[in-house]
Structure 1
Amino acid sequence: MSIKSIAAKIFAKKIHKKTLQWASKPVETQQKVFEDLIRLAKNTQFGKDHKFDEIKSFQDFAKQVPIRDYEELKPYVDKVVKGESDVLWKGKPLYFAKTSGTTSGAKYIPLTKESMPFHILAARNAILSYIHETGNAHFVDGKMIFLQGSPILEEKNGIKLGRLSGIVAHFVPSYLQKNRMPSWETNCIEDWETKVDAIVEETINENMSVISGIPSWVQMYFEKLQEKANKPVGELFKNFNLFIYGGVNFEPYRAKFENLIGRKVDSIELFPASEGFFAYQDSQKEKGMLLLLNAGIFYEFIKSEEFFTDNPKRYTIGEVELNVNYVLIISTNAGLWAYNIGDTIQFTSLQPYRVIVSGRIKHYISAFGEHVIGKEVEHALKEAMENTDIRVNEFTVAPQIAPETGLPYHEWFIEFENEPNNLEEFALTIDAAMRKQNVYYDDLIVGKVLRTLVITKVSKNGFQEYMKSIGKLGGQNKLPRLSNDRKIADQL
């Protein structure tokens, strides 16, 4: 065992003890975060506008600070972008994480000197948690790859901006620099396909032990590796035993990955976003990711079924229940206040608090009142593929409201790696799994409002071509699992 791996185990034990300290006192931990946020921001423009100096409790905060999304917070963000100080948070941000918006074009999410360290520490602690639980630390001696956006940053009124993953690339600890791949030059390549080709060339003869990225884009890297080496990725990288991912559910990709790798590898799920690093998988045995309650973020939760009603109840950490779909609301030390990030989560454990990402509040199908969410379609597809050799590269679902003949239906666009012998039978298996999970969907089928789902096959690389056509190939871009309209469906 190397000195580096021994040191990693010692450090992992130390961090585990610190994690237990705050995780065992969740309500107190969140209360302290709440009080610190209000105190530090009371003299900002936002703090004055919302009378932070009068806020003594969460109830006061909920009365004075309404839930907002980016569009509603944008007047304040625009002031920050123009270079004003003390608007949402004290001083000016260190960076803007630039993301693609929907109605407002580019979104500029502030990252401050208080918030930035938590992005780095959370990713580090996720790996240390894995080391502490499993005792596996040998991978620290191998090469590690992080498929991410370009680290080249622009500047706007004295504040640097770029993709979050590109900004984070500037904070890689010195002890990882020698192990980290790809090279800085390759990481700066903007065109995704060119970049992946260059990464393949750089890594194909290296001792890769950790690979990290959004599953759909790592899959593209693995396919190119396998094509060039003419052998499974696991045979090419004999010491590759840890896959770190975030952004989407890995389950629909798992069978395909195991086929590409040629064996099973351990994985760690992360829940990062430009707005904050919310959770990471702290156990290989337990379901869900540990919600980070001490990371400069105060959490609120609104039941998704109540979200679009007038004045929905806002729950704090001590009030949540298992297996309820909540919209995640955050207030942060980057100056986001009662901010709706758009994700929905469910708690899988309350001791400690662990969550899964169940979907997006805007990504659902309810064209007929069925309230179908991302977690349900992912689970249904996984159940249908179990104990078969069927493998799926990518998929998305949309309603077909006005078919040429027959009843309306849900249309599943699926790119198969190995397709079923009987497509209609496979569709019925998915449909049965959907009906078990969602009583509204089942009622619509029974009541002959909808017919059972229909699968439309997408040609090989069809989803990549679609993402390329809208300028969102690679990086942190993700295909929505669900749409309540047919914008994506019609293009496919």
Structure 2
Amino acid sequence: MSVKSVFAIPFAKIATKRVLKWAKKPHKTQDKVFKKLISSAKNTAFGKDHDFKNITNYDDFKKRVKVTDYEGLRSYVDRIVAGESDVLWKGKPLYFAKTSGTTSGAKYIPITKESMPTHIKAARNALLFYIVDKKDASFVNGKMIFLQGSPILEDKNGVKLGRLSGIVAHYVPQYLLKNRLPSWETNCIEDWDTKVNAIVEETINEDMSVISGIPSWVQMYFEKLIEKTGKSVSQLFPNFNFFIYGGVNFEPYKNKFESLIGKKIDYIELYPASEGFIAYQDSQTEKGMLLQLDSGIFYEFIPATEFFNENPNRISLKDVQIGINYVIILNTNAGLWGYNIGDTIEFTSTKPYRIKVTGRIKHFISAFGEHVIGKEVEKALNDAILGTNINVSEFTVAPQVNPESGLPYHEWFIEFENEPKDLSILATKIDASMQSQNVYYLDLIEGKVLRPLIIRKVKKGGFHEYMKSIGKFGGQNKIPQLSDNRKIADVLENFLIKE
């Protein structure tokens, strides 16, 4: 056992006790964060425009600051990008995290000297909780790989600009640098195919103990390893025992992953965003991720069913309930105010506050009033393949409003690794789960407005080809699991297996 792993366990115990200290005082912690945010930003342009100096409580804040998104704050962000100080937050940001928007084009999300450390600390604490939970830190002796964007940063009027994962790459602790892969040179490769091939070459003979990334891209890495060696991932990396992921629901990928790996492993889920590191999994036995209440973010929540109302109910942490689908709203020490990042969550626990991501408020299907959300389609697919040898590589769902014949339906585009013997049986199982979860969908089926769903088989590698065709292959890009229009579905028609 190395010195590093010996000292990791007591360090992990100390660090996790500090986290539990604020987690046991959630409302007091959030109140403290709220007051500090308002005080720190009262002399900024945004603070003056919204009378921060006269805000004394949350009700005052709600009267002055409306819920918005990037477009709503764009006039302020543009001033920061142009080089102005003290706009949304005091001083200038350290970085802009560049993300791709749908209606906004490129987004420049500010990261400040106050917010940057919270990204690093949360990722570190997720690992420390795992060490305490398992009473084992041996993984620190092996090699660790984080599939991420290029760490090369541009300059934007004196502020560094890049992808969040590329920015974070500059903050890897010194004691982990010798263990970290891929090399800096490989990490800088922009073309994803070339990059993954280079990562395979660098890691194939290493003792990999930790692997992290978006599941669909890590799956591609695993497949290339197996193709090159003819061995399972666990045969190549016998000390690889847990996978770190974020950004998607992992359940639909789990069967496929474990078949590629060749054994069952542990998983650590993270909820990082350019706007802030929101939550991470703190237990291998409890459901959900620990909401980061002490990380410079004051949270608000709006029931998803009310979000598009003229005056939706906007609440703070103390009024949330378990099992309700909320749109999560952020107020941060990077200067984002009343900011809707577009995600929906549910609370799985309030002692402590743990959440799970349920989808995107813009990603839903309600072409017929069915109000289907991401969590429902993910659960339906997982219910249907549970206990089978069916493995799904990727999927997405769209409405078919104008079929050539018969009633409209939901169209499921699925890329199988191991496909079912009878596609109609799988479709029936998925549809049954959808009907049991969503009463609106059930009513539409029973009322003969919709017919049961239809599955279209996407050829192997088809989703990757689709992402290439729209210029979003690799990195942090993900396919929405559902959409209310045919934009994705119509292009995927080109990548189907013709029956």
TM-score, length basis structure 2: 0.98
Opposite residue 430 of structure 1, the aligned amino acid is I
Q: Does 1:464 align with 2:469?
A: no
CA deviation after TM superposition for structure 1 residue 16, in Å: 1.4
Determine whether 1:116 maps to 2:116. Answer: yes
Matching residue of 1:372: 372
CA RMSD of aligned residues (A): 0.5
**Unaligned 5+ residue runs, structure 1?**
none
Distance in 1, matches of 2:265 and 2:366, equals 37
For 2:40, what is the secondary structure of its paired residue? helix
Letter paired with 1:242: F
Match of 1:28 in 2: 28
Give the letter for the 2:357 counterpart: V
Which ranges in structure 2 are unaligned for 5 or more consecutive residues? 493-499
SS at match of 1:334: coil
Cα deviation, residue 104, structure 1: 2.0
Report the counterpart of residue 329 of structure 1 in structure 2.
329
Deviation for aligned residue 1:304 = 0.3
Aligned to 2:496: none
**Residues of 1 paired with 2:334 and 2:394: CA distance?**
34
1:235 and 2:235 matched:
yes
Question: What is the one-letter code of the residue matched to 1:346?
Answer: E
What is the CA-CA distance between 1:400 and the residue it aligns to? 0.3
How does 1:402-421 map onto structure 2 within 5 Å?
A: 402-421=402-421
Paired position in structure 2 for 1:53: 53
Identity %: 71
**Aligned-partner residue type, residue 30 of structure 1:** Q
C-alpha distance in structure 2 between counterparts of 1:417 and 1:20, whole Å: 41
1:437-452 correspondence to structure 2 within 5 Å: 437-452=437-452
Distance 1:68 1:395 in 2: 30
User: Which amino acid is 1:421 matched to?
Assistant: K
CA distance in 2, matches of 1:265, 1:387: 17
Q: How does 1:282-321 map to 2 (within 5 A)?
A: 282-321=282-321
**1:20 Cα deviation after fit:** 1.1
**Superposed CA offset, 1:281-325 (max 9, x none):** 000001100000000000000000000001111111110000100
**Residues of 2 paired with 1:432 and 1:105: CA distance?**
39
One-letter code aligned to 2:117: P
Alignment of 1:133-282 (within 5 A): 133-282=133-282
Structure 2 residue aligned with 1:453 = 453
How far did residue 6 of structure 1 move? Answer: 1.3
1:6 is matched with 6
How far did residue 458 of structure 1 move?
A: 0.4
Q: Secondary structure at the match of 2:365?
A: coil
Deviation at 1:387, TM superposition (A): 1.2
Q: Displacement of 1:353 after TM fit?
A: 0.4
Matching residue's letter, 1:243 = F
- Aligned counterparts of 1:107 and 1:136: Cα–Cα separation in 2: 41
CA distance in 2, matches of 1:63, 1:194: 51
CA distance in structure 2 between the aligned counterparts of 1:387 and 1:452, rounded to whole angstroms: 23
* C-alpha deviation, 1:134, in angstroms: 1.0
- 1:91-102 aligned within 5 A: 91-102=91-102
- Tell me what 2:41 maps to: 41
Distance in 1 (alpha carbons) for counterparts of 2:91 and 2:298? 20
Instruction: Say which SS state the counterpart of residue 310 (structure 2) adopts.
Output: coil
What is the alpha-carbon distance in structure 1 between the residues aligned to residue 182 and residue 303 of structure 2? 42
Q: Distance in 2 between matches of 1:104 and 1:265?
A: 39
Who is 2:85 aligned against? Answer: 85
Structure 1: which amino acid aligns with 2:307?
A: F
Distance 1:162 1:285 in 2: 36
CA distance in structure 1 between the aligned counterparts of 2:387 and 2:22, rounded to whole angstroms = 41
Cα deviation digits, residues 134-176 of structure 1 (max 9, x gap): 1121000000000000000111111110000000000000000
CA distance in structure 1 between the partners assigned to 2:4 and 2:471 by the alignment: 41
Counterpart of 2:228 in 1: which secondary structure? helix
Listed as ranges, the matches of 1:65-76 within 5 Å are: 65-76=65-76
CA distance in 1, matches of 2:345, 2:15: 26
Query: Aligned to 2:364, what secondary structure does the other structure show?
Result: coil
Give, in whole Å, the separation in 2 of the partners of 1:9 and 1:106. Answer: 42
Aligned residues between the structures: 492
Instruction: Tell me which amino acid in the other structure corresponds to 2:41.
Output: A
Per the alignment, in what secondary structure is the counterpart of residue 117 of structure 1? helix
**Structure 1 residue 242, shift from structure 2 partner:** 1.3
Q: Quick one: distance in 1 between partners of 2:45 and 2:339? A: 17
Letter in 1 for 2:407: L
